[in-house]
Amino acid sequence: MTTATHDHGHDHEHHGPAKGLTRWLYTTNHKDIGTMYLWFSFAMFLLGGTFAMVIRAELFQPGLQLVQPEFFNQMTTMHGLIMVFGAVMPAFVGLANWMLPMMVGAPDMALPRMNNLSFWILPFAFAMLTSTLFMEGGGPNFGWTFYAPLSTTYAPPSVTFFIFAVHIMGASSIMGAINIVATILNMRAPGMTLMKMPLFVWTWLITAYLLIAVMPVLAGVVTMMLMDIHFGTAFFNAAGGGSPVLFQHIFWFFGHPEVYIMILPAFGIVSAIIPAFARKQLFGYSSMVYATASIAFLSFIVWAHHMFTVGIPFLGEAFFMWATMLIAVPTGVKVFNWVTTMFRGSMTFETPMLFAICFVVLFTIGGFSGLMLAVAPADFQYHDTYFVVAHFHYVLVPGAVFSIMAAVYYWLPKWSGKMYNETMGKVHFWLSFVGVNILFFPQHFLGLAGMPRRIPDYALQFANFNMISSIGGFLFGASQLLFLYIVVHTIVAGKPAPAKPWDGAEGLEWTVDSPAPYHTFTTPPKID
């Protein structure tokens, strides 16, 4: 196996000055762009994690000790924004850039120059977003959901820069999604029908449609904010005939599909890894495709479950409650299929498989607490408590983040031609696994006992669980530095990877017409 940067048709012929920085600035190579997305998202992951460490340090004990309440609010806001838009989404786009062309047998992405642009506007967007922390009045302090009128009438002056940054991120996402749809629909190898595509390709095709549908909604709502702040409109100002609840409807019509954008590609990753290490074909391929599509469709009609407490009509509450519960059905199908794929398989437990199994178990826990939140009368009690924080972190950390880590361990030998240190990988997994549960499990109890989210101080009865949670947070945060070391060490000094890094993972003879053959480590078909 040659190193990945010299795959078919991708040799970088660099003559003269086209070396170093210009190679990365001008590149239209999907692998280079995927690499840049992944490194950028990792940098944002560490930055957003640093903000989370500030939050957990302040909450280590009751009372106000480390930071001012105002700065605490800026930390909760920036942590959420950077993790969602800067860490999770670009990481999935990076994985898509690297793997999709190879999985469908295409020489590159359909629109390579747009691909370059969609990446390079991101560092500027996040530089601008982070710079708000140094502006007069501080950075955004209104939570990552930026509810009006807190984000319009009472916001710091830096909110305008925040709005611009969100526009740029949205433009990046839309370009990336159009590129993915164009590549999958137009550039598949001859004979690869839609129902023969690997599931990672399917989940990304559906995710891309979600992005194209909802990113303009986000652009719309931040534009309305801009009008309210600078141009005298009153979209969200009750005094001028507007409504703060309108903001929530528009935001969550974007925001609910958004949370599925952050988990569907994870489903695709796990559906690639589990069959490889169980040495069995994925159970229920077509049901996985239909389940993914069902989840995507349902994600559009459940947005007001975030708004049970605003006073929507009783029938509205009933509808959104049942529609939300319905999402558990296709999700349950997926979990059943993953477990059945592992059942009686010849499983081995390399690092990617450990992360994938952990994904299935902990994501399911997050799903169960989501079902609890779907029950409208119960949600009146849970709303805006730490129970909600525990729920969405169980879905996003062991869900989205662990699946990204699984993907990195799984595909790093392919990308770099080097093998990571398996022992260190396992140490990283166990530290992360233990840390994430110590961090987020106690927050369920805090929330059920009534501790509100986004508050820098708390009553004495919450002290013990907060201390436990913070210790878990510091453990989880520190263990990601080990992850950084493992990845860098692999690229710089790793042992050469065998041609089939997961020996036996491809050992079975797949028939040509079996659904979703493993194109992951085979040479893509040449396209004349």
CATH code of residue 269: 1.20.210.10
Question: pLDDT confidence of 500, banded at 50, 70, 90?
Answer: confident
Q: pLDDT tens digits for 215-246?
A: 999 999 999 999 999 999 999 999 999 999 99
Does residue 136 form part of some domain?
yes
Tell me what pLDDT residue 18 has.
Answer: 58
Token output for 58: 């302040």
Name the residue among 263, 166, 273, 181 with its Cα closest to residue 215: 166
The model's confidence at residue 270, banded by pLDDT at 50, 70 and 90, is very high
- Check pLDDT > 60 for residue 8: no
Is 322 contained in some domain?
yes
Indicate whether 3 belongs to any domain: no
From 48, 63, 56, 66, select the one nearest 466 (Cα to Cα).
56
Cα of 101 vs its chain's centroid, Å: 21
Give residue-wise pLDDT tens across range 239-258: 999 999 999 999 999 999 99
Q: CA 491 to CA 413: how far, in whole Å?
A: 9
High-pLDDT (> 70) share of the chain, %: 92
Q: What is the mean pLDDT of residues 370-379?
A: 97
As to burial, measured by CB atoms within 10 angstroms (0-12 exposed, 13-18 middle, 19+ buried), residue 63 is exposed
Condensed to tens digits (0 to 9), the pLDDT of residues 345-365 reads: 999 999 999 999 999 999 999
Distance from C-alpha of 59 to C-alpha of 143, rounded to nearest angstrom: 17
pLDDT at residue 528 greater than cutoff 70:
no
Residues 6+ positions from 25 with CB-CB distance below 8 Å: 120
Active site residues: 79, 108, 144, 172-173, 256, 258, 260, 271, 305-306, 331, 334, 453
In 3D space, the residue among 348, 362, 197, 206 whose CA is nearest the CA of residue 274 turns out to be 348
- Say yes or no to pLDDT of 450 above 70: yes
Task: Give a yes or no: residue 281 inside a domain.
Answer: yes
In a domain, 2, yes or no: no
What integer is the mean pLDDT of 176-190? 98
Residue 527 in any domain: the answer is no
The most distant pair of C-alpha atoms in the chain lies apart, rounded to whole Å, by 70
Quote the number of domains for the chain.
Answer: 1
16 within domain boundaries: no
Residues recorded for the chain = 528
pLDDT at 17: 53
Q: Which of 359, 206, 198, 398 is nearest to 282 (CA)?
A: 198
Q: How far, CA to CA in Å, does 404 sit from each of 65, 113, 120, 234, 490?
A: 35, 25, 21, 41, 17
Average pLDDT over residues 96-106: 97
Q: Give the single-character DSSP code of 350.
A: -
User: What confidence tens digit (pLDDT) does each residue in 384-402 have?
Assistant: 999 999 999 999 999 999 9
For Cα atoms 64, 157, 392, give the angle at the middle one, nearest 5 degrees: 55
Q: b vs e for 132-165, b when ≥16 Cβ sit within 10 Å of the residue's Cβ?
A: beeeeebbbbbbbbbebbbbbeebbebbbbbbbb
Gyration radius of the chain's alpha carbons: 23
Residue 11 has pLDDT above 60, yes or no: no
In a domain, 258, yes or no: yes
Burial class (CB in 10 A: 0-12, 13-18, 19+), 73: buried
User: Which one, of 210, 175, 195, lies nearest residue 97 by Cα?
Assistant: 175
Domain range holding 265? Answer: 27-511
Backbone angles phi, psi at 344, to 5 degrees: 60, 25
